[in-house]
Structure 1
Amino acid sequence: MGCGTERSASISVHATTNRQNLLLLVQLRWLAVSGQVLTILIVQWGLGIALPLTEMAMVIALLVLLNLASLLRHHRRGAEVSNAELFAALLFDVGALTTQLYLSGGATNPFISLYLLQIGLAAVLIERWSTWVLVALASLCFIGLIGLHRPLALPVQLDDGVPRLYIQGVFICFLIAAALLVVFIQRISHNLRVRDENLADLRQRAVEEDHIVRMGLLASGAAHELGTPLSTLSVILGDWLRMPVFKAQPQLIQEIGEMQGQIDRCKTIVSGILMSSGETRGENPRRTSVRRFVDDLMAQWQSHQAPARLDYVNAFAPDAVIVSDPALKQVICNIFDNALEASPARVVVRVERREDDLAIIVQDEGPGFSSEILASLGKPYRSTKGRPGGGLGLFLVSNVMRKLGGTLSAQNREAGGACVTVTLPLASLSPVKAPRESRHDG
């Protein structure tokens, strides 16, 4: 994956997290609207304190309209939510709180401490500079409310020189702020942890795909280098077959023929590597069906590897038209090779359809996978074969499946041996949208 793709994916992760946080702000605002309505009702009719209901109702209506607009934006999945938008939403909340406090006693209102709730949310949700700007504005609003506000006629009942109603209001404000801070900061922290996990996964994928690109370049270079000596050997063997000294020895002629066949196979493999790396894009893709594709692949693999026993069942129905993909052939054959290496006596292959997916199940009677291998399935250089470069097979299979939208899973069978399952969406192989190798942006 190129740096441009990684950067765009990282931006997408941040945008998704911001959309989730915007939804949390919407939920908090609904609670604020409900709390303000309840408080106004209690103060106006429960305590008999006159409030400017019209102005306060207008502020609540504006909060409702902002929430509806935010919900509409949240449901537009393609729309990104930036730091500026979250900052603006918090500024609006601070402005609404300031207006309500201005209409209900200013700095003498015990709910003035709710400024700290807005600042706490800002410290978690938005960038550092935005948070400090919000702190400065909230402080200015607090200072302004000391001198500019509409006073309320409160019943005076003093406790140690402080109005009892004020103490009760401070306590209620404390309970509200504490509960909301705990609930929403925990949920916001969860969103941030999910974002960090997604970013870590993207970085890991970028490293793995860079590793694949390097191996692809090496394989392509090796294929080019091998082409010339293989062609030379093929010409030499062809000359030998025409020489009288070799024609007189039928056994030698047979061995030369076998050597020619193996060289032809090597040339086919080299051509497949070049095709998968994009060297032969001028050729038209070959349309086929799922059943024919897997049947031909199994016949080719069986003729090359000659397993002692192969139990093959193609239960894919109904059939579907696809485009033959050389890279997919290679990774599936890699699974077959691993199964044969683990279990030379018997390999079981079953092909079936699972709704709109192609499933290939490969079973063997070998020793199975260790718990470490199963836990790190698809990671490079995780192998029990004990040779340099081992463990790349399932790593390559896993990455090709991921590019095509499929999955790779493995487990040990109760009867012994291992079972590897490849599941691939048919849409990724359809003629309408044929699979392609990932493009690496610079």
Structure 2
Amino acid sequence: MRDTENHSTFVILPDSGIKELQHSAGHKNMLQLIHLRWLAVFGQISTIALVTLGFGIHLPILPMLYVLAGLIAFNIGSHLRWHEEVRVSNRELLLALLVDVATLTAQLYLSGGTGNPFAFLFLLQVILSAVLLEAWSTWLIVALSTACLMGLSRFSLPLKLPPDSVNSLFSLYRDGMLICFLLNAALLVFFLTRINSNLKERDAQLADLQKRAAEEEHIVKMGLLASGAAHELGTPLATLSVILGDWRRMPQFAQDAELTEELTEMQRQLQRCKRIVSSILLSAGEARGESSVKTTINTFLNDLAEDFRATRILQEFEYRNSNPHDIPVVFDVALKQMICNVLDNALEASPHWLAFDVQRQEEVLTLLVTDRGPGFQPHILDKLGQPYQSTKGRAGSGLGLFFVVNVVRKLGGTVSARNRPEGGAAVEVTLPISALKL
């Protein structure tokens, strides 16, 4: 089935732990708090100016400016610290919110205590803590905010209102309440939306990690199954090799040229099976670096192409290596099997024509395999790299691209598949040169 519009890419992400994702989300949330604090500084300066100049209310300007200076200094320090450091824990977020609560308490103490309508800004701190912090930390913020409000209800500097504003005191309080509500609502909508976006991104990455862990567990099980099967196949393959050797010496076979040719081909295919079994055992028992071979890019790929041409029944196989600069690298059995897996899948879909192109752009090696077969079906492209996604209708099929994707993932590369406009399919594997260099 051809579909020239479909294109699927499996982008490989670097391996990372759940704690790293949590720290990353915490870092983004810390940056949001820093931005919010700058808005708080601007809002406090504007409010002090408005109340003093617009309403004629006398405030202790100098102490309030000292509090603002401390908040600005803390925010500058936070910006410098978290610009370099990206690991933010729950305790560090808690400390940042505690500084905000302390600053708000100090400003309210200097401006009327709980009689100041802006006392409701404590709710903003409580809601932010509920979103950002662990449960025990949130309850700590709630307890401290409550204690601060109770303290402000008993101890605070009274506001010095102008003589002619006594009758309009309720109106001033009502206007302050309205401004406080609008400020709370705007800040909550704006910042909670951005914080929730960070949390959703973290959850999506955690889900991807869980999926990857399940896939790797599946690979381990398949590796154990493959190594066990390889051990079991060793004895019958050795027996067949002995039998074929005996047949070649029998007169009825030696005198028949056609039978001799067929025996030669059987022995060649049997040797190939033994090499495959040996490769499976080597891959299962040795890690990369221990089963690796020092070579060069062009030498490895040229030998691989020649070996593929010699061991498969091919009508037309086009191999083009456009790598201009050959460099020393390390290749292992798993990587060779991965490339051959892509080629074998293409050969099965297109036995009449197959192309293998190699290109290198700076520090990226690109391997492109194209064929003239029926192409990928849309549901295969949508689930590229997932196990048992195949149109072959055989039990256990659909593992080829699954293994390809997981081998490439270990090297930090990408695998993409698409249907060609002129017919057939193309699978592209990109590998960073840094993962292959000596």
Same fold? TM cut 0.5: yes
Compute the displacement of 1:281 (Å). Answer: 7.9
Residue 411 of structure 1: aligned partner: 418
Residue 9 of structure 2: aligned partner: none
> Would you say 1:37 and 2:45 are equivalent positions?
yes
Residue 401 of structure 1: aligned partner: 408
Q: Is the 8 A contact 1:362 1:421 kept in 2?
A: yes
Q: Is the 8 A contact 1:351 1:360 kept in 2?
A: yes
SS in 1 for 2:268: helix
Query: In 1, distance between residues paired with 2:375 and 2:268?
Result: 34
Query: In 2, distance between residues paired with 1:247 and 1:384?
Result: 43
Q: Is the 8 A contact 2:366 2:430 kept in 1?
A: yes
Cα pair distance change 1:284/1:145, threshold 3 Å: closer
Query: In 2, distance between residues paired with 1:33 and 1:424?
Result: 49
Cα pair distance change 1:84/1:283, threshold 3 Å: closer
1:360-439 map, 5 Å: 360-431=367-438
Residue 293 of structure 2: aligned partner: 286
Residue 93 of structure 1: aligned partner: 100
Q: TM-score, normalised by structure 2?
A: 0.91
SS in 2 for 1:180: helix
Q: Is the 8 A contact 1:368 1:412 kept in 2?
A: yes
Residue 108 of structure 1: aligned partner: 115
Structure 1 stretch displaced more, 49-58 or 396-405: 49-58
Structure 2 segments unaligned to the other structure (5+ residues): 1-14
> Would you say 1:71 and 2:110 are equivalent positions?
no
Amino acid corresponding to residue 71 of structure 1 in structure 2: H
Q: Which has the higher contact order (CA 8 A, sep 6+)?
A: 2
Q: Is the 8 A contact 2:323 2:359 kept in 1?
A: yes
Which of 25, 33, 36 aligns to 1:28? It is 36
Structure 1 stretch displaced more, 234-243 or 37-46: 234-243
Q: Is the 8 A contact 2:372 2:423 kept in 1?
A: yes
Amino acid corresponding to residue 82 of structure 2 in structure 1: H
Compute the displacement of 1:243 (Å). Answer: 4.9
Compute the displacement of 1:148 (Å). Answer: 0.3
Q: Is the 8 A contact 2:342 2:400 kept in 1?
A: yes
Structure 1 stretch displaced more, 139-148 or 256-265: 256-265
Count, aligned residues = 424
Query: In 1, distance between residues paired with 2:186 and 2:288?
Result: 62
Residue 66 of structure 2: aligned partner: 58
Residue 436 of structure 1: aligned partner: none
Structure 1 stretch displaced more, 32-41 or 276-285: 276-285
Query: In 1, distance between residues paired with 2:208 and 2:254?
Result: 62
Compute the displacement of 1:331 (Å). Answer: 1.1
Query: In 2, distance between residues paired with 1:65 and 1:282?
Result: 51
Residue 56 of structure 2: aligned partner: 48
Compute the displacement of 1:45 (Å). Answer: 3.5
Compute the displacement of 1:332 (Å). Answer: 0.9
Residue 4 of structure 2: aligned partner: none
Query: In 2, distance between residues paired with 1:105 and 1:183?
Result: 29
Q: Is the 8 A contact 1:158 1:164 kept in 2?
A: no
Amino acid corresponding to residue 401 of structure 2 in structure 1: L
Residue 7 of structure 2: aligned partner: none
Query: In 2, distance between residues paired with 1:375 and 1:154?
Result: 69
Query: In 2, distance between residues paired with 1:212 and 1:167?
Result: 66
Query: In 2, distance between residues paired with 1:94 and 1:179?
Result: 19
Amino acid corresponding to residue 284 of structure 2 in structure 1: S
Structure 1 stretch displaced more, 200-209 or 38-47: 38-47
Q: Is the 8 A contact 1:91 1:134 kept in 2?
A: yes
Query: In 1, distance between residues paired with 2:287 and 2:235?
Result: 17
Cα pair distance change 1:145/1:400, threshold 3 Å: same
Compute the displacement of 1:248 (Å). Answer: 4.4
Query: In 1, distance between residues paired with 2:258 and 2:160?
Result: 117
Q: TM-score, normalised by structure 1?
A: 0.91
Q: Is the 8 A contact 1:410 1:419 kept in 2?
A: yes
Structure 1 stretch displaced more, 141-150 or 232-241: 232-241
Q: CA RMSD in A?
A: 2.1
Residue 435 of structure 1: aligned partner: none
Percent sequence identity over aligned pairs: 53
Residue 228 of structure 1: aligned partner: 235
> Would you say 1:206 and 2:233 are equivalent positions?
no
Q: Is the 8 A contact 1:17 1:195 kept in 2?
A: yes
SS in 2 for 1:163: helix
Amino acid corresponding to residue 35 of structure 1 in structure 2: G
Cα pair distance change 1:248/1:364, threshold 3 Å: closer
Which of 4, 9, 13 aligns to 2:17? It is 9
What do the CA deviations read for 1:131-180 (whole angstroms, capped 9, x no partner)?
12211211121111111000111135467x75322222211111111110
